[in-house]
Structure 1
Amino acid sequence: MRQIILDTETTGLDPAQGHRIVEVACVEMVNRSLTGNHLHLYLNPDRDSDPEALAVHGLTTEFLSNHPRFSEIAHHVCDFVQGAEVIIHNAAFDLKFLDAELKKVGRPAFTTLCGKITDSLLHARELHPGKRNSLDALCERYGISNAHRTLHGALLDSELLAEVWLAMTRGQDALIMDFGGADTQSANGMKMERFDASVLRVLPAGPDETAAHEAYLDILDKAAGKPCVWRAQASE
Protein backbone atom coordinates (compact mmCIF):
# COMPACT_ATOMS: atom_id res chain seq x y z
CA MET A 1 0.00 0.00 0.00
CA ARG A 2 1.50 3.34 -1.06
CA GLN A 3 0.69 6.39 1.07
CA ILE A 4 1.78 9.99 0.60
CA ILE A 5 1.85 12.43 3.50
CA LEU A 6 1.39 15.92 2.06
CA ASP A 7 1.61 19.46 3.39
CA THR A 8 1.61 22.95 1.87
CA GLU A 9 2.47 26.47 2.97
CA THR A 10 0.60 29.41 1.46
CA THR A 11 0.58 33.21 1.21
CA GLY A 12 -2.71 33.42 3.14
CA LEU A 13 -5.91 31.65 4.05
CA ASP A 14 -8.10 31.73 0.93
CA PRO A 15 -7.26 31.08 -2.75
CA ALA A 16 -10.48 32.92 -3.67
CA GLN A 17 -8.72 36.07 -2.46
CA GLY A 18 -5.73 35.42 -4.72
CA HIS A 19 -3.58 33.56 -2.24
CA ARG A 20 -1.17 30.97 -3.60
CA ILE A 21 0.91 27.96 -2.55
CA VAL A 22 4.53 28.80 -1.71
CA GLU A 23 5.76 25.35 -0.64
CA VAL A 24 4.59 21.77 -1.15
CA ALA A 25 6.07 18.57 0.25
CA CYS A 26 5.15 14.92 -0.14
CA VAL A 27 6.69 12.07 1.89
CA GLU A 28 6.24 8.48 0.69
CA MET A 29 5.36 5.46 2.82
CA VAL A 30 4.94 1.94 1.47
CA ASN A 31 3.44 -0.74 3.72
CA ARG A 32 3.73 1.62 6.70
CA SER A 33 7.45 2.19 6.21
CA LEU A 34 9.05 5.48 5.16
CA THR A 35 10.92 4.89 1.92
CA GLY A 36 13.10 8.02 1.97
CA ASN A 37 11.49 9.09 -1.30
CA HIS A 38 9.98 12.57 -1.15
CA LEU A 39 9.04 15.60 -3.24
CA HIS A 40 9.81 19.07 -1.89
CA LEU A 41 9.31 22.29 -3.84
CA TYR A 42 9.34 26.02 -3.13
CA LEU A 43 7.15 28.08 -5.45
CA ASN A 44 7.07 31.65 -6.71
CA PRO A 45 3.52 32.89 -5.96
CA ASP A 46 3.97 36.22 -7.82
CA ARG A 47 2.73 38.07 -4.74
CA ASP A 48 3.61 38.84 -1.14
CA SER A 49 2.53 36.67 1.75
CA ASP A 50 0.18 38.12 4.32
CA PRO A 51 2.11 39.17 7.46
CA GLU A 52 0.36 36.44 9.48
CA ALA A 53 1.33 33.75 6.95
CA LEU A 54 4.90 35.04 6.71
CA ALA A 55 5.20 34.79 10.49
CA VAL A 56 4.21 31.12 10.24
CA HIS A 57 6.51 29.92 7.45
CA GLY A 58 9.13 32.66 7.11
CA LEU A 59 9.35 32.36 3.29
CA THR A 60 9.99 35.86 1.99
CA THR A 61 8.97 37.23 -1.40
CA GLU A 62 12.65 37.74 -2.27
CA PHE A 63 13.51 34.10 -1.50
CA LEU A 64 10.52 32.69 -3.39
CA SER A 65 11.12 34.87 -6.47
CA ASN A 66 14.06 32.61 -7.37
CA HIS A 67 11.91 29.47 -7.55
CA PRO A 68 9.59 28.06 -10.24
CA ARG A 69 5.89 28.83 -10.53
CA PHE A 70 3.29 26.12 -9.92
CA SER A 71 2.62 25.84 -13.66
CA GLU A 72 6.22 24.68 -14.13
CA ILE A 73 6.11 21.89 -11.53
CA ALA A 74 2.44 20.78 -11.60
CA HIS A 75 3.33 17.59 -13.45
CA HIS A 76 5.83 16.60 -10.73
CA VAL A 77 3.15 16.88 -8.02
CA CYS A 78 0.56 15.02 -10.11
CA ASP A 79 2.94 12.19 -10.98
CA PHE A 80 4.16 11.77 -7.38
CA VAL A 81 0.70 11.31 -5.83
CA GLN A 82 -0.82 9.31 -8.70
CA GLY A 83 -3.01 6.48 -7.38
CA ALA A 84 -1.79 6.74 -3.77
CA GLU A 85 -3.67 7.35 -0.54
CA VAL A 86 -2.81 10.95 0.37
CA ILE A 87 -2.82 11.85 4.07
CA ILE A 88 -3.21 15.54 4.93
CA HIS A 89 -3.76 17.26 8.30
CA ASN A 90 -6.84 19.49 7.87
CA ALA A 91 -7.19 18.30 4.29
CA ALA A 92 -9.92 20.77 3.31
CA PHE A 93 -7.46 23.67 3.60
CA ASP A 94 -4.72 22.16 1.42
CA LEU A 95 -7.16 20.72 -1.11
CA LYS A 96 -8.80 24.07 -1.86
CA PHE A 97 -5.37 25.53 -2.64
CA LEU A 98 -4.24 22.52 -4.69
CA ASP A 99 -7.48 22.53 -6.68
CA ALA A 100 -7.17 26.28 -7.33
CA GLU A 101 -3.58 25.91 -8.56
CA LEU A 102 -4.46 22.91 -10.76
CA LYS A 103 -7.43 24.76 -12.23
CA LYS A 104 -5.16 27.67 -13.22
CA VAL A 105 -3.04 25.30 -15.32
CA GLY A 106 -5.97 23.42 -16.85
CA ARG A 107 -5.63 20.22 -14.81
CA PRO A 108 -8.43 18.28 -13.05
CA ALA A 109 -9.10 18.42 -9.31
CA PHE A 110 -6.50 16.91 -7.00
CA THR A 111 -8.84 14.17 -5.77
CA THR A 112 -9.02 12.71 -9.28
CA LEU A 113 -5.29 11.96 -9.11
CA CYS A 114 -5.34 9.99 -5.86
CA GLY A 115 -6.69 6.66 -4.81
CA LYS A 116 -7.98 8.18 -1.56
CA ILE A 117 -7.74 11.33 0.57
CA THR A 118 -7.43 10.83 4.35
CA ASP A 119 -7.73 13.74 6.78
CA SER A 120 -5.50 12.97 9.76
CA LEU A 121 -7.10 15.82 11.74
CA LEU A 122 -10.56 14.22 11.52
CA HIS A 123 -9.04 10.88 12.50
CA ALA A 124 -7.32 12.47 15.51
CA ARG A 125 -10.57 14.14 16.60
CA GLU A 126 -12.30 10.76 16.60
CA LEU A 127 -9.51 9.23 18.67
CA HIS A 128 -9.15 12.19 21.06
CA PRO A 129 -12.51 13.99 21.29
CA GLY A 130 -12.49 17.27 23.14
CA LYS A 131 -8.68 17.56 23.07
CA ARG A 132 -6.27 19.69 21.04
CA ASN A 133 -5.32 17.87 17.86
CA SER A 134 -2.91 20.23 16.15
CA LEU A 135 0.29 18.68 14.81
CA ASP A 136 2.24 20.06 17.77
CA ALA A 137 -0.31 18.67 20.25
CA LEU A 138 -0.22 15.24 18.60
CA CYS A 139 3.58 15.21 18.62
CA GLU A 140 3.47 15.87 22.36
CA ARG A 141 0.78 13.24 22.92
CA TYR A 142 2.69 10.53 21.07
CA GLY A 143 6.15 11.46 22.32
CA ILE A 144 7.47 12.65 18.94
CA SER A 145 10.12 15.36 19.21
CA ASN A 146 9.31 18.57 17.36
CA ALA A 147 11.83 20.75 19.20
CA HIS A 148 13.39 21.72 15.86
CA ARG A 149 10.06 23.08 14.57
CA THR A 150 10.51 26.83 15.17
CA LEU A 151 8.70 27.70 11.91
CA HIS A 152 6.22 25.72 9.86
CA GLY A 153 7.80 24.03 6.86
CA ALA A 154 6.00 21.69 4.49
CA LEU A 155 8.72 19.02 4.43
CA LEU A 156 9.33 19.00 8.18
CA ASP A 157 5.60 19.00 8.89
CA SER A 158 5.07 16.11 6.46
CA GLU A 159 7.81 14.09 8.16
CA LEU A 160 6.34 14.80 11.61
CA LEU A 161 2.84 13.94 10.41
CA ALA A 162 4.12 10.63 9.01
CA GLU A 163 5.42 9.70 12.46
CA VAL A 164 2.20 10.86 14.11
CA TRP A 165 0.09 8.89 11.63
CA LEU A 166 2.04 5.69 12.29
CA ALA A 167 1.62 6.21 16.03
CA MET A 168 -2.12 6.98 15.76
CA THR A 169 -2.85 3.94 13.60
CA ARG A 170 -0.45 1.46 15.19
CA GLY A 171 -3.28 -0.68 16.53
CA GLN A 172 -5.18 -0.85 13.24
CA ASP A 173 -3.10 -3.48 11.43
CA ALA A 174 -5.08 -6.62 10.69
CA LEU A 175 -4.56 -9.34 13.30
CA ILE A 176 -5.50 -12.08 10.86
CA MET A 177 -3.33 -12.41 7.77
CA ASP A 178 -5.04 -13.36 4.52
CA PHE A 179 -2.99 -15.92 2.65
CA GLY A 180 -5.43 -16.04 -0.23
CA GLY A 181 -6.51 -19.61 0.48
CA ALA A 182 -3.04 -21.08 0.03
CA ASP A 183 -0.10 -22.05 2.23
CA THR A 184 2.90 -19.75 2.17
CA GLN A 185 6.48 -19.63 3.44
CA SER A 186 7.71 -17.36 6.23
CA ALA A 187 10.99 -15.48 6.04
CA ASN A 188 12.83 -18.34 7.82
CA GLY A 189 11.42 -20.97 5.49
CA MET A 190 8.81 -22.31 7.92
CA LYS A 191 5.59 -23.45 6.26
CA MET A 192 2.59 -21.34 7.32
CA GLU A 193 -0.79 -22.95 6.74
CA ARG A 194 -3.93 -21.03 5.88
CA PHE A 195 -5.50 -19.63 9.03
CA ASP A 196 -9.08 -20.62 9.87
CA ALA A 197 -10.71 -17.75 11.78
CA SER A 198 -13.76 -19.91 12.60
CA VAL A 199 -11.81 -21.69 15.35
CA LEU A 200 -11.39 -18.50 17.39
CA ARG A 201 -13.34 -18.42 20.65
CA VAL A 202 -15.77 -15.53 21.12
CA LEU A 203 -15.79 -14.20 24.68
CA PRO A 204 -18.73 -11.80 25.21
CA ALA A 205 -18.38 -9.03 27.79
CA GLY A 206 -20.01 -9.68 31.15
CA PRO A 207 -22.51 -7.30 32.83
CA ASP A 208 -19.82 -5.52 34.87
CA GLU A 209 -17.60 -5.04 31.80
CA THR A 210 -20.53 -3.74 29.75
CA ALA A 211 -21.50 -1.27 32.48
CA ALA A 212 -17.89 -0.05 32.78
CA HIS A 213 -17.71 0.41 29.02
CA GLU A 214 -20.95 2.44 28.95
CA ALA A 215 -19.69 4.62 31.80
CA TYR A 216 -16.51 5.34 29.87
CA LEU A 217 -18.54 6.27 26.77
CA ASP A 218 -20.56 8.67 28.92
CA ILE A 219 -17.29 10.42 29.84
CA LEU A 220 -16.30 10.67 26.16
CA ASP A 221 -19.73 12.06 25.23
CA LYS A 222 -19.46 14.74 27.92
CA ALA A 223 -15.93 15.73 26.86
CA ALA A 224 -16.86 15.96 23.16
CA GLY A 225 -20.27 17.57 23.68
CA LYS A 226 -21.80 14.99 21.34
CA PRO A 227 -22.10 11.20 20.99
CA CYS A 228 -18.65 9.59 20.66
CA VAL A 229 -17.75 7.71 17.48
CA TRP A 230 -18.75 4.29 18.86
CA ARG A 231 -22.27 5.43 19.74
CA ALA A 232 -22.59 7.47 16.55
CA GLN A 233 -21.75 4.40 14.46
CA ALA A 234 -24.08 2.20 16.48
CA SER A 235 -26.99 4.54 15.79
CA GLU A 236 -26.45 4.53 11.99
Structure 2
Amino acid sequence: MSEHILKATGRSVEGKGASRRLRHAASIPAIVYGGKSAPQPIQLDHEKTWLAQQNEWFYSSILTLEIDGKAEPVLLRDMQRHPFKQIIMHLDFQRVDLNQALKAAVPLHFLNQDSSPAGKAADVVITHELNEVTVSCLPKDLPEFIEVDLAKLAVGDVVHLSDIKLPKGVELPELKLGKEHDVAVVMAKHGRVESEETSEETPAEVPATKAAKKDEK
Protein backbone atom coordinates (compact mmCIF):
# COMPACT_ATOMS: atom_id res chain seq x y z
CA MET A 1 0.00 0.00 0.00
CA SER A 2 1.59 3.24 -1.19
CA GLU A 3 1.10 6.45 0.74
CA HIS A 4 -0.74 9.20 -1.12
CA ILE A 5 -1.30 12.35 0.90
CA LEU A 6 -4.03 14.95 0.41
CA LYS A 7 -4.12 18.04 2.59
CA ALA A 8 -7.42 19.51 3.73
CA THR A 9 -8.84 21.91 6.28
CA GLY A 10 -12.04 21.68 8.28
CA ARG A 11 -14.97 23.99 7.51
CA SER A 12 -17.77 25.08 9.79
CA VAL A 13 -20.10 26.74 7.29
CA GLU A 14 -22.20 24.45 5.10
CA GLY A 15 -24.90 24.87 2.48
CA LYS A 16 -25.08 25.65 -1.22
CA GLY A 17 -24.04 29.26 -0.77
CA ALA A 18 -20.96 28.34 1.26
CA SER A 19 -19.99 25.65 -1.24
CA ARG A 20 -20.36 28.11 -4.11
CA ARG A 21 -18.07 30.59 -2.36
CA LEU A 22 -15.50 27.86 -1.80
CA ARG A 23 -15.47 26.96 -5.49
CA HIS A 24 -15.05 30.62 -6.45
CA ALA A 25 -12.05 30.66 -4.10
CA ALA A 26 -10.55 27.63 -5.95
CA SER A 27 -11.40 25.17 -3.17
CA ILE A 28 -13.44 21.98 -3.21
CA PRO A 29 -16.13 21.30 -0.60
CA ALA A 30 -15.95 17.72 0.66
CA ILE A 31 -17.03 15.46 3.49
CA VAL A 32 -15.43 12.64 5.47
CA TYR A 33 -17.73 10.04 7.02
CA GLY A 34 -17.72 6.55 8.50
CA GLY A 35 -16.05 4.93 11.47
CA LYS A 36 -16.85 6.00 15.00
CA SER A 37 -16.55 9.73 14.34
CA ALA A 38 -19.26 12.06 13.11
CA PRO A 39 -19.23 13.23 9.47
CA GLN A 40 -16.82 16.13 9.04
CA PRO A 41 -17.12 18.83 6.35
CA ILE A 42 -13.74 19.75 4.86
CA GLN A 43 -12.25 21.68 1.96
CA LEU A 44 -9.32 20.93 -0.36
CA ASP A 45 -7.24 23.01 -2.77
CA HIS A 46 -8.73 22.55 -6.24
CA GLU A 47 -5.54 22.75 -8.29
CA LYS A 48 -3.61 20.19 -6.22
CA THR A 49 -6.61 17.86 -6.04
CA TRP A 50 -7.21 18.20 -9.80
CA LEU A 51 -3.65 17.09 -10.47
CA ALA A 52 -3.99 14.19 -8.02
CA GLN A 53 -7.26 12.93 -9.53
CA GLN A 54 -5.57 12.45 -12.89
CA ASN A 55 -3.77 9.46 -11.39
CA GLU A 56 -5.35 6.02 -11.20
CA TRP A 57 -4.40 5.61 -7.54
CA PHE A 58 -6.71 8.48 -6.57
CA TYR A 59 -9.73 6.22 -7.16
CA SER A 60 -8.50 2.84 -5.95
CA SER A 61 -5.95 3.41 -3.17
CA ILE A 62 -6.05 4.20 0.52
CA LEU A 63 -5.47 7.95 0.73
CA THR A 64 -3.95 9.73 3.70
CA LEU A 65 -6.13 12.75 4.29
CA GLU A 66 -4.40 15.35 6.48
CA ILE A 67 -7.13 17.50 8.02
CA ASP A 68 -5.62 20.47 9.84
CA GLY A 69 -2.49 18.38 10.36
CA LYS A 70 -4.27 15.24 11.62
CA ALA A 71 -3.91 12.24 9.31
CA GLU A 72 -6.78 9.86 8.54
CA PRO A 73 -6.78 6.91 6.11
CA VAL A 74 -9.71 7.21 3.69
CA LEU A 75 -11.12 5.91 0.42
CA LEU A 76 -12.69 8.12 -2.22
CA ARG A 77 -16.34 7.07 -2.49
CA ASP A 78 -17.85 9.74 -4.72
CA MET A 79 -16.78 12.61 -6.96
CA GLN A 80 -19.10 15.18 -8.50
CA ARG A 81 -17.78 17.04 -11.54
CA HIS A 82 -19.09 20.06 -13.41
CA PRO A 83 -20.93 18.87 -16.56
CA PHE A 84 -18.56 20.66 -18.97
CA LYS A 85 -15.98 22.68 -17.02
CA GLN A 86 -12.81 21.20 -15.53
CA ILE A 87 -14.12 21.67 -12.02
CA ILE A 88 -14.59 19.19 -9.18
CA MET A 89 -17.81 20.12 -7.45
CA HIS A 90 -17.71 17.85 -4.39
CA LEU A 91 -15.87 14.85 -2.91
CA ASP A 92 -16.97 12.13 -0.49
CA PHE A 93 -14.34 10.24 1.51
CA GLN A 94 -14.95 7.25 3.76
CA ARG A 95 -12.80 6.62 6.82
CA VAL A 96 -10.90 3.33 6.79
CA ASP A 97 -10.25 1.06 9.76
CA LEU A 98 -6.82 -0.40 9.09
CA ASN A 99 -7.73 -3.54 11.06
CA GLN A 100 -10.93 -4.36 9.16
CA ALA A 101 -11.35 -5.82 5.68
CA LEU A 102 -12.90 -3.53 3.10
CA LYS A 103 -14.34 -3.77 -0.39
CA ALA A 104 -13.07 -1.54 -3.18
CA ALA A 105 -13.01 -1.40 -6.98
CA VAL A 106 -9.54 -2.01 -8.42
CA PRO A 107 -8.58 -1.42 -12.09
CA LEU A 108 -7.23 -4.22 -14.28
CA HIS A 109 -4.04 -3.80 -16.30
CA PHE A 110 -3.84 -6.10 -19.32
CA LEU A 111 -0.32 -7.21 -20.25
CA ASN A 112 1.17 -8.80 -23.40
CA GLN A 113 -2.05 -8.68 -25.41
CA ASP A 114 -0.42 -7.62 -28.68
CA SER A 115 2.28 -10.30 -28.45
CA SER A 116 -0.18 -13.11 -27.62
CA PRO A 117 -1.24 -15.71 -30.25
CA ALA A 118 -4.66 -14.04 -30.43
CA GLY A 119 -3.11 -10.59 -30.66
CA LYS A 120 -0.90 -11.63 -33.58
CA ALA A 121 -3.66 -13.44 -35.48
CA ALA A 122 -5.50 -11.70 -38.30
CA ASP A 123 -9.21 -10.94 -38.04
CA VAL A 124 -9.36 -11.59 -34.29
CA VAL A 125 -11.29 -9.35 -31.92
CA ILE A 126 -10.12 -9.21 -28.29
CA THR A 127 -12.67 -7.66 -25.96
CA HIS A 128 -12.24 -6.57 -22.35
CA GLU A 129 -15.55 -7.40 -20.68
CA LEU A 130 -14.35 -5.90 -17.37
CA ASN A 131 -11.87 -3.10 -16.73
CA GLU A 132 -12.07 -3.28 -12.94
CA VAL A 133 -13.03 -5.77 -10.25
CA THR A 134 -14.31 -5.43 -6.69
CA VAL A 135 -11.90 -6.94 -4.18
CA SER A 136 -12.02 -7.67 -0.47
CA CYS A 137 -8.92 -7.35 1.70
CA LEU A 138 -7.29 -5.54 4.59
CA PRO A 139 -6.34 -1.94 3.75
CA LYS A 140 -2.62 -2.79 3.86
CA ASP A 141 -3.16 -5.37 1.11
CA LEU A 142 -5.26 -3.19 -1.22
CA PRO A 143 -3.52 -3.13 -4.63
CA GLU A 144 -3.55 -0.01 -6.82
CA PHE A 145 -4.24 -2.32 -9.79
CA ILE A 146 -4.24 -6.00 -10.72
CA GLU A 147 -2.29 -7.31 -13.69
CA VAL A 148 -3.85 -9.79 -16.12
CA ASP A 149 -1.19 -11.49 -18.26
CA LEU A 150 -2.58 -12.31 -21.72
CA ALA A 151 0.68 -13.68 -23.14
CA LYS A 152 -0.89 -17.11 -23.83
CA LEU A 153 -4.28 -15.85 -25.02
CA ALA A 154 -5.34 -17.81 -28.12
CA VAL A 155 -8.28 -17.50 -30.49
CA GLY A 156 -11.39 -18.84 -28.78
CA ASP A 157 -10.03 -18.37 -25.26
CA VAL A 158 -12.06 -16.79 -22.48
CA VAL A 159 -10.40 -15.44 -19.34
CA HIS A 160 -12.74 -15.66 -16.35
CA LEU A 161 -12.63 -13.98 -12.95
CA SER A 162 -11.29 -17.21 -11.42
CA ASP A 163 -8.31 -17.08 -13.83
CA ILE A 164 -7.02 -13.80 -12.42
CA LYS A 165 -3.94 -14.15 -10.23
CA LEU A 166 -4.59 -12.12 -7.11
CA PRO A 167 -2.04 -10.57 -4.76
CA LYS A 168 -1.62 -12.17 -1.34
CA GLY A 169 -4.48 -11.39 1.03
CA VAL A 170 -6.84 -10.27 -1.76
CA GLU A 171 -10.13 -12.01 -2.62
CA LEU A 172 -12.92 -11.55 -5.17
CA PRO A 173 -16.24 -11.63 -3.25
CA GLU A 174 -18.12 -12.27 -6.49
CA LEU A 175 -16.63 -15.77 -6.78
CA LYS A 176 -18.20 -16.79 -3.46
CA LEU A 177 -21.69 -16.29 -4.89
CA GLY A 178 -21.58 -19.30 -7.22
CA LYS A 179 -20.20 -20.50 -10.56
CA GLU A 180 -22.60 -18.28 -12.50
CA HIS A 181 -20.74 -15.27 -11.08
CA ASP A 182 -17.43 -16.41 -12.57
CA VAL A 183 -17.96 -14.04 -15.49
CA ALA A 184 -15.75 -13.44 -18.53
CA VAL A 185 -13.06 -10.80 -18.23
CA VAL A 186 -11.42 -11.14 -21.66
CA MET A 187 -12.62 -12.88 -24.84
CA ALA A 188 -10.79 -13.58 -28.11
CA LYS A 189 -12.97 -14.33 -31.14
CA HIS A 190 -12.64 -14.34 -34.91
CA GLY A 191 -14.12 -11.16 -36.31
CA ARG A 192 -16.20 -13.17 -38.82
CA VAL A 193 -17.75 -15.25 -36.02
CA GLU A 194 -18.67 -12.11 -34.12
CA SER A 195 -20.31 -10.63 -37.22
CA GLU A 196 -22.31 -13.81 -37.83
CA GLU A 197 -23.51 -13.87 -34.20
CA THR A 198 -24.62 -10.25 -34.47
CA SER A 199 -26.59 -10.93 -37.66
CA GLU A 200 -28.25 -13.97 -36.07
CA GLU A 201 -29.40 -11.84 -33.14
CA THR A 202 -31.15 -9.37 -35.51
CA PRO A 203 -34.86 -10.27 -35.38
CA ALA A 204 -36.45 -11.25 -38.67
CA GLU A 205 -39.64 -9.56 -39.84
CA VAL A 206 -42.60 -11.54 -38.49
CA PRO A 207 -45.65 -12.36 -40.66
CA ALA A 208 -47.90 -10.17 -38.53
CA THR A 209 -45.69 -7.18 -39.36
CA LYS A 210 -45.82 -7.98 -43.06
CA ALA A 211 -49.59 -8.28 -42.93
CA ALA A 212 -49.83 -4.95 -41.19
CA LYS A 213 -47.76 -3.33 -43.91
CA LYS A 214 -50.03 -4.79 -46.62
CA ASP A 215 -53.05 -3.35 -44.81
CA GLU A 216 -51.44 0.06 -44.79
CA LYS A 217 -51.17 0.08 -48.61
Tell which structure's C-alpha radius of gyration is larger: 2
Q: Same fold (TM over 0.5)?
A: no
Going by fraction, where is strand more abundant, 1 or 2? 2
Going by fraction, where is helix more abundant, 1 or 2? 1
Give me the TM-score of the superposition, normalised by structure 1.
Answer: 0.20
